[in-house]
């Protein structure tokens, strides 16, 4: 494999990627283009390009991916009701294929031969980045310094930074964190012991439930074909839907979980995740589906949701199976249009009402009052036919028991 002359680096401006940038220059003798993804994260990105250039990058840019992330990654995933291991809303997972896709796009524009990332050899993100590159640009090399260098501690990274004049924050970080427009994850420190509760500083978006307002807040969200389009009567862009609902849900203590999950690489890990917008949308979307989706269609979609969530978590966004499942999911959502009104209170989401022009709900069928839409006598044949196999099975068991008694 030839040594790349130009590398596109996923650059956050923190200690790890700053050291990686300089390491690529000094150890690999590469020109480095630093690319920072603006995913709507709370961090201030001003000055990050200047910092990359001072560290030695030949070019540096911040790419605004907020609308693309919401429209083309978050919303498709949420149409699929994806929950990894029935709890995790995949806030970090869904951003990785977009970041990797952006690295590939910049590499093509700049005629680079490789891309690089700062993921460690223990985690899932290395897989997500590199699966995406393999799918979109298999000719590009991927450089993963954490799998190559001997800088295996924060002390070593800090020493390298000081040696090469890289400015770093003097403030020690308690956690390894990842944030985007809807999600913040916390790992490390006391969280590495599942028997310890998180420190009070382990939060960013969700107020503690005991500090949430004592008065419930009412929110109304409109959906079209499974996608949220309007909040409280105001039509918003996909990214603004996420940011608005994140603020609303977060101030009501909604969307925080503390869990131990199974990483794709085989180990268990413990993390605290805050995803207020995703949590609220998940509940409201599922509620609207209750009146819009046929029973068997909903059942099949929910079966696929398990496999779909694994695809996202494990980095298979650009796989044929995810794309095929997405086609089915999107077909299932064609009639999921309507409005859900909900009460938010102390970490909970309680839908109050839901209406849809495509509702399958029939008052004439379910009413306790007299109705000409349903004949109670029809249930007799339905029960008799569906109980046929149960009668057959019961008879066979009785014969077997009788035979066993004789012997």
Query: Which residues are identified as catalytic?
Result: 16, 96, 125, 176
| Residue partners of 310: CB distance under 8 A and separation at least 6 | 84, 316
CB atoms within 10 A of CB 359: 15
Q: What torsion do the CA atoms of 345, 346, 350, 353 make, to the nearest 10 degrees?
A: 10
On whether the CB atoms of residues 114 and 4 are closer than 8 A, the answer is yes
Residue carrying structure tokens 């268990």:
268
Q: Which of 147, 99, 120, 97 is nearest to 267 (CA)?
A: 120
Beta strands in 65-195 (DSSP E): 114-116, 141-143, 176-179, 184-187
Please classify residue 94 by burial: count the beta carbons closer than 10 Å to its beta carbon, then call 0-12 exposed, 13-18 middle and 19+ buried.
buried
- Please tell me whether residue 263 adopts helix, strand or coil conformation: coil
On whether the CB atoms of residues 7 and 32 are closer than 8 A, the answer is yes
């Amino acid at each position: 494999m030839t040594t790349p002359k130009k590398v596109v680096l996923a650059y956050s401006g923190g200690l790890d990627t700053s050291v990686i940038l300089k390491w690529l220059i000094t150890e690999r003798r590469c020109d480095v283009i630093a690319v920072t993804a603006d995913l709507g994260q709370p961090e201030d990105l001003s000055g990050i390009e200047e910092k990359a250039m001072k560290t030695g990058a030949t070019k540096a840019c911040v790419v605004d991916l907020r609308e693309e992330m919401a429209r083309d990654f978050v919303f498709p995933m949420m149409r699929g009701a994806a929950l990894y291991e029935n709890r995790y809303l995949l806030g970090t997972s869904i951003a990785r294929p977009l970041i990797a896709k952006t690295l590939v796009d910049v590499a093509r524009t700049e005629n680079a031969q490789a891309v690089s990332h700062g993921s460690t050899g223990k985690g899932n993100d290395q897989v997500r980045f590199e699966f995406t590159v393999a799918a979109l640009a298999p000719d590009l090399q991927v450089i993963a310094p954490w799998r190559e260098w001997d800088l295996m501690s924060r002390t070593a990274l800090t020493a390298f930074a000081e040696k090469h004049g890289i400015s770093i924050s003097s403030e020690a970080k308690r956690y390894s964190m990842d944030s985007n427009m809807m999600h913040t994850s916390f790992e490390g420190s006391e969280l590495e012991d599942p028997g310890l509760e998180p420190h009070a500083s382990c939060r960013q978006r969700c107020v503690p439930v005991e500090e949430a307002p004592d008065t419930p807040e009412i929110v109304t969200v409109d959906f079209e074909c499974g996608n949220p389009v309007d909040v409280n009567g105001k039509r918003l862009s996909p990214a603004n839907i996420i940011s608005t609902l994140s603020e609303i849900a977060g101030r009501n203590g909604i969307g925080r979980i503390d869990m131990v999950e199974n990483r794709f690489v085989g180990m268990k890990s413990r993390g605290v995740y805050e995803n207020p917008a995703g949590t609220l949308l998940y509940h409201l979307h599922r509620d609207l589906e209750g009146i819009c989706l046929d029973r068997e269609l909903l059942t099949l979609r929910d079966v696929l949701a398990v496999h779909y969530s694994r695809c996202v978590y494990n980095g298979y966004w650009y796989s044929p199976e995810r794309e095929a499942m997405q086609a089915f999911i999107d077909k299932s959502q064609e009639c999921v249009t309507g409005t859900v009104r909900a009460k938010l209170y102390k970490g909970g989401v309680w839908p109050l009402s839901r209406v849809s022009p495509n509702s399958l709900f029939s008052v004439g069928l379910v009413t306790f009052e007299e109705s000409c839409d349903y004949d109670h006598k029809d249930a007799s044949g339905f029960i008799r036919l569906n109980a046929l196999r149960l009668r057959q099975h019961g008879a066979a068991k009785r014969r077997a028991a009788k035979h066993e008694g004789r012997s």
